[in-house]
Amino acid sequence: MAAAVDPLISEALLAAPQISDYPQFAQCEIPLQSGASRAFLGFIRPFSDDQTAREILRAVESNAQLQISSGRLSVETVPERMHPFEDYLIATAVPFTVLVAEFEGGEHPRSFLLSPKMTPRFSLSPHLRPDKYVWAGGRPYPALCVYSGNLFQYRNGEDKLQQLLDQTATYLAKYLIWLRTRQLFRRSADGSRQFVYKRKPHEPATEFDLMHARDAYWDGYWPGRLAPSGPAQHLATIKRTDECWCWSGKPYGDCCRPKEVAALKRAGSPVLASETWNRTTSTPSRTPLPEGANDNSPGWSSPRRTQPGEPADPHFRRPVGPA
Ligand SMILES: [Zn+2]
């Protein structure tokens, strides 16, 4: 039974669960011109409460193992060390409406956030794939950059959509932390950035979401390790035979590598391949720390899976302010 792509979750839920451990997802209409073979609609609520959100922040930052059950995150052993941004994590029990698209052939499935909407001006989220989008309800939704193909490999014999949704849940948890810790910045003439508005811990973000000037932008704290980003980083860290970062399922050498080499040459940048560059020196730098950061989801009873100690991070583009 197909439901409309508009978030008619209750209707979608009438259909039988089709993704293992995600009974809150059901098959829906395939978005037009998406090229998908099947689509599913449902919701993910990564944090059951603020305390859990704080524990997950500690866990992600210390590279501890996460547990995932129906899209809910938990951690068995909570690192003792407090995180400086814990106090910013309020009102985190947010459900996200997510569309999942599946494709024929070797191309990997993708997930899309339908609501709450990502508003580029307020979100400026760098973890998106605007080149891979679907139309739903008359507007385009970019795919979520929930992993980099060379860092996360699908395990054979396990439900691929479930693995994608586990990755998506981790992504949404990090995105929510980013939203709650975001501050308003302005880029100055010399390229450095200055605080325009600094939220205090426990201060709700919503009232200030609307306060922005033309030359200001929001940026928050994206926890955990970052995947390599951009042609130079890709070339330096991904071997030709590794799976490409772009989710095509093809080796990097047969997929995006030639384009990226050409782009670097055009730009006059040195082309340093992974074979010649020590991988340990190529870890991307982090975003500087900002100064100062209706429970109807089934699943707690279902078996929890362990997320690897190094959660695969989304392909990362550096946040840049409006020019
Ligand atoms: Zn590729």
* pLDDT tens digits for range 105-125: 889 999 999 988 876 655 555
Query: How many angstroms is it from 278 CA to the middle of ligand 1?
Result: 22
> Which two three-digit tokens encode residue 235?
């070339």
The residue assigned the tokens 């811990």 is 201
For the chain, give the mean pLDDT: 77
Query: How many angstroms is it from 246 CA to the middle of ligand 1?
Result: 4
pLDDT category at 285 given cuts 50, 70, 90 is very low
What is the DSSP secondary structure assignment for residue 116, as one 8-state letter? S
Query: How many angstroms is it from 153 CA to the middle of ligand 1?
Result: 14
Highest mean pLDDT among 154-163, 178-187, 311-320: 154-163
The pairing of beta strand 110-115 with beta strand 66-69: unpaired
Query: How many angstroms is it from 256 CA to the middle of ligand 1?
Result: 4
**Is residue 279 pLDDT above 80, yes or no?**
no
How remote is the C-alpha of 163 from its chain's centroid? 14
Query: How many angstroms is it from 251 CA to the middle of ligand 1?
Result: 8
Query: How many angstroms is it from 136 CA to the middle of ligand 1?
Result: 25
Greater pLDDT, 133 or 310: 133
Query: How many angstroms is it from 228 CA to the middle of ligand 1?
Result: 14
Query: How many angstroms is it from 42 CA to the middle of ligand 1?
Result: 28
Least confident of 2-16, 160-174, 185-199: 2-16
Query: How many angstroms is it from 143 CA to the middle of ligand 1?
Result: 15
Task: Write down the pTM of the prediction.
Answer: 0.77
Burial state string for 93-120 with b = 16 or more CB within 10 A and e = fewer than 16: bbbbbbbbbbbeeebbbbbbbbeeebee
Question: Cβ(25)–Cβ(18) under 8 Å?
Answer: yes
**Is residue 183 pLDDT above 70, yes or no?**
yes
Q: Which amino acid is at 275?
A: E
Highest mean pLDDT among 61-65, 194-198, 303-307: 61-65
pLDDT at position 213 is 54
The SS3 of residue 150 is: coil
Greater pLDDT, 123 or 255: 255
**Is residue 301 pLDDT above 80, yes or no?**
no
pLDDT (average), residues 55-82? 93
**Is residue 235 pLDDT above 50, yes or no?**
yes
Nearest Cα to 197, choosing from 222, 217, 171?
A: 217
Provide φ and ψ at 312, rounded to 5°. Answer: -60, 130
pLDDT at position 88 is 92
Query: How many angstroms is it from 273 CA to the middle of ligand 1?
Result: 16
pLDDT category at 278 given cuts 50, 70, 90 is very low
pLDDT category at 241 given cuts 50, 70, 90 is very high
pLDDT at position 317 is 32
Sign of dihedral through CA atoms 243, 307, 230, 142?
positive
Count CB-CB contacts under 10 A for residue 149: 25
Nearest Cα to 76, choosing from 316, 323, 318, 305?
A: 305
Nearest Cα to 45, choosing from 298, 222, 312, 313?
A: 298
pLDDT category at 17 given cuts 50, 70, 90 is low
